[in-house]
């Protein structure tokens, strides 16, 4: 064991866990601070300056880093497993509170733009969808692992009932409960959960049935929306319009009288996606430079839903490539961490699921920003503005780093205790004896 003294200069060298993931986290946080500082002034409150905005964001960053370190210093997977087992109950409880429009004064559900996605607890606002994503990935990792280890208590005599009760039903229920608040969140989170179940060894038959159940549930929601003439499941209508609406709003803007209601209605429909494309186009190869964005004054959600286009406008294609490389590197490093987890199914699924969630959301966000697919409202993980999303992704990274640390320690322990591939001790002893005899014959004393 090395006696090397820990100093400031070798602190990072002595840090356990995957160092590449640490670097990815730190660079994404740096991008977040820079971008929030120079993004839209819509984030500024009365009497606030951009310095106040950065200081507020720094408080969130410090809290996020603290959450990463708390997860990182947890010494065993047992704690994560116990919390993960409560993931579905916790998620379903939050979603039911959200949908029911609960209002207890101190705790209440908030409706924004016709959708309920936030629960306010005193002065704090909790974006429920972001919490559910992390909680359900960890829950499914626990449920699949516990099922394979025969640790589940209910339906011990019926394997199919166990899978339905602990794995498939929570998947379907969570997806359906997400639909009233956000179609994109329901489809994206449902897709990630589906992949976790598939990676956990779900059979082709079961996955097919599960997929059909999901499609059937979605069709039922569309039917309810149609029958109620849009009075129920309103977000379904929003999703349908984004996918199937062939209205040429650009032509309406060009052909309508400037200043008319028709002109402004059509302009509102294309303002954000068109301005995002303008930002990407104007960014060029090296960008305009920090604080030089012009589209931040046009796109109200540029610090959230369109953060990637803002990064390209200010930092160019080079900055955009750095972001893409960071998320691709996370995928690559997580594949190594999963391999190092050995036979621990919970650890492997937790790392794989969280990595797919983070990188999948990042690339979905990037696709929308470059006009590939309809707007989804998915933020850029650990970069976009939003306290709930930022802190939830900090927890996800903390879990990944903690598992990587535990996995590396396991490998070191196994290497230390492993027998050598070839035992040469007898051959070495024989060679030493032969050399000693020859030296004695020549008169040398040994």
Q: pLDDT per residue over 380-425, tens digit each?
A: 899 888 888 899 999 999 999 999 988 877 766 665 665 555 555 6
214 confidence band (pLDDT: 50, 70, 90): confident
Q: Give the pLDDT mean for 284-303.
A: 74
What separation, in Å, do the N-terminal and C-terminal C-alpha atoms of the chain show?
33
137-141, 316-320, 339-343 — most confident range: 137-141
Residue 107 confidence (pLDDT):
84
Whole-prediction pTM: 0.82
3 confidence band (pLDDT: 50, 70, 90): low
**Lowest-pLDDT range, 16-25, 218-227, 310-319?**
218-227
141 confidence band (pLDDT: 50, 70, 90): very high
Residue 137 confidence (pLDDT):
96
State the alpha helices, DSSP H only, in 379-424. 387-417
Higher per-residue pLDDT: 293 or 309 = 309
Compute the distance between CA of residue 193 and CA of residue 88 in angstroms, rounded to an integer: 12
Per residue in 241-269, pLDDT (tens digit) is: 555 555 655 666 566 666 666 655 665 66
| Whether the Cβ atoms of residue 134 and residue 355 lie closer than 8 Å to each other | no
Copy the structure tokens of residue 162: 């166990």
Residue 431 confidence (pLDDT):
67
309 confidence band (pLDDT: 50, 70, 90): confident
Residue 246 confidence (pLDDT):
57
Q: Give the pLDDT mean for 371-381.
A: 78
Residue 257 confidence (pLDDT):
65
Residue 88 confidence (pLDDT):
94
Could you identify the residue written with the tokens 């905005």?
53
Q: Give the pLDDT mean for 122-137.
A: 89
User: Residue 355 is inside which H or E element, if any?
Assistant: helix 345-369
In order of 26, 30, 58, 280, 379, the CA distances from 366 in angstroms are: 20, 19, 25, 11, 9
Distance from CA of residue 435 to its chain's centroid?
Answer: 63
Residue 201 confidence (pLDDT):
83
**Per-residue DSSP letter, 103:** B
State the burial class of residue 71 (Cβ atoms within 10 Å of its Cβ: 0-12, 13-18, 19+).
buried
**Per-residue DSSP letter, 41:** G
Compute the distance between CA of residue 102 and CA of residue 99 in angstroms, rounded to an integer: 8
- DSSP characters for 57-93? HHHHHHHHHHHHHHHHT---HHHHHHHHTTHHHHHHH
Q: Give the pLDDT mean for 348-360.
A: 95
Compute the distance between CA of residue 429 and CA of residue 293 in angstroms, rounded to an integer: 74
Instruction: Name residue 303's beta-bridge partners.
Output: none
Per residue in 55-99, pLDDT (tens digit) is: 888 899 999 999 999 999 888 888 999 999 999 999 999 999 888
**Whether the predicted pLDDT of 346 surpasses 90:** yes
Q: Give the pLDDT mean for 166-170.
A: 91
User: Residue 369 is inside which H or E element, if any?
Assistant: helix 345-369
106 confidence band (pLDDT: 50, 70, 90): confident
- Mean pLDDT value across the chain: 80
Residue 329 confidence (pLDDT):
94
Domain boundaries, the chain: 11-441
Q: Give the pLDDT mean for 430-436.
A: 66
**Whether the predicted pLDDT of 213 surpasses 60:** yes
Residue 67 confidence (pLDDT):
94
Copy the structure tokens of residue 421: 């591939």
How many helices and strands, by DSSP H and E, does the chain display?
17, 3
Could you identify the residue written with the tokens 């409150």?
45
Compute the distance between CA of residue 215 and CA of residue 32 in angstroms, rounded to an integer: 37
Residue 1 confidence (pLDDT):
44
State the burial class of residue 277 (Cβ atoms within 10 Å of its Cβ: 0-12, 13-18, 19+).
middle
Residue 10 confidence (pLDDT):
59
Percent over 70 (pLDDT), the chain: 73
Residue 155 confidence (pLDDT):
83
């Amino acid at each position: 064991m090395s006696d090397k003294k820990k100093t400031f200069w070798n602190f990072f060298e002595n840090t356990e866990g995957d160092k590449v993931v640490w670097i990815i986290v730190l660079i994404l946080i740096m991008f977040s601070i820079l971008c929030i500082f120079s993004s839209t002034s819509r984030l500024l409150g009365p009497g606030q300056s951009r310095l106040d905005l950065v200081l507020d964001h720094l408080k969130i960053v410090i809290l996020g880093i603290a959450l990463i370190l708390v997860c990182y210093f947890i010494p065993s997977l047992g704690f994560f497993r116990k919390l993960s087992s409560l993931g579905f109950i916790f998620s379903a409880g939050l979603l039911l509170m959200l949908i029911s429009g609960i209002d207890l004064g101190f705790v209440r559900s908030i409706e924004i733009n016709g959708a309920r996605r936030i629960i306010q607890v005193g002065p704090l606002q909790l974006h429920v969808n972001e919490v559910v994503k992390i909680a359900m990935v960890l829950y499914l990792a626990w449920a699949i692992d516990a099922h394979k280890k025969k640790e589940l208590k209910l339906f011990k005599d019926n394997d199919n009932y166990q899978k339905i009760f602990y794995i498939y039903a929570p998947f379907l229920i969570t997806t359906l409960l997400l639909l009233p608040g956000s179609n994109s969140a329901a489809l994206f989170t449902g897709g990630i959960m589906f992949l976790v179940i598939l990676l956990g060894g779900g059979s082709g038959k079961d996955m097919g049935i599960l997929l059909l159940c999901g499609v059937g549930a979605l069709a039922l929601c569309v039917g309810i929306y149609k029958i109620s003439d849009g009075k129920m499941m309103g977000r379904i209508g929003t999703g349908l319009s984004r996918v199937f609406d062939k209205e040429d709003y650009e032509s309406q803007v060009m052909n309508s009288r400037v200043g008319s209601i028709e002109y402004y209605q059509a302009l509102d429909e294309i303002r954000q996606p068109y301005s995002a494309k303008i930002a990407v186009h104007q960014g060029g190869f090296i960008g305009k430079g920090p604080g030089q964005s012009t589209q931040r004054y046009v796109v109200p959600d540029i610090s959230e839903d369109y953060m990637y286009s803002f990064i390209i406008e200010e930092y160019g294609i080079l900055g955009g490539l750095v972001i893409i490389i960071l998320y691709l590197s996370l995928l690559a490093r997580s594949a190594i961490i999963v391999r190092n987890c050995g036979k621990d199914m919970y650890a492997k699924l937790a790392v794989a699921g969280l990595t797919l969630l983070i990188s999948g959301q990042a690339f979905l966000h990037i696709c929308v920003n470059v006009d590939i697919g309809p707007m989804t409202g998915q933020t850029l993980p650990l970069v976009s503005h939003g306290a709930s999303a930022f802190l939830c992704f900090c927890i996800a990274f903390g879990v990944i780093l903690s598992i990587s640390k535990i996995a590396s320690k396991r490998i070191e322990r196994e290497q230390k205790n492993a027998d050598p591939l070839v035992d040469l001790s007898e051959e070495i002893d024989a060679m030493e004896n032969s050399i000693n005899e020859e030296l004695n014959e020549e008169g040398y004393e040994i």
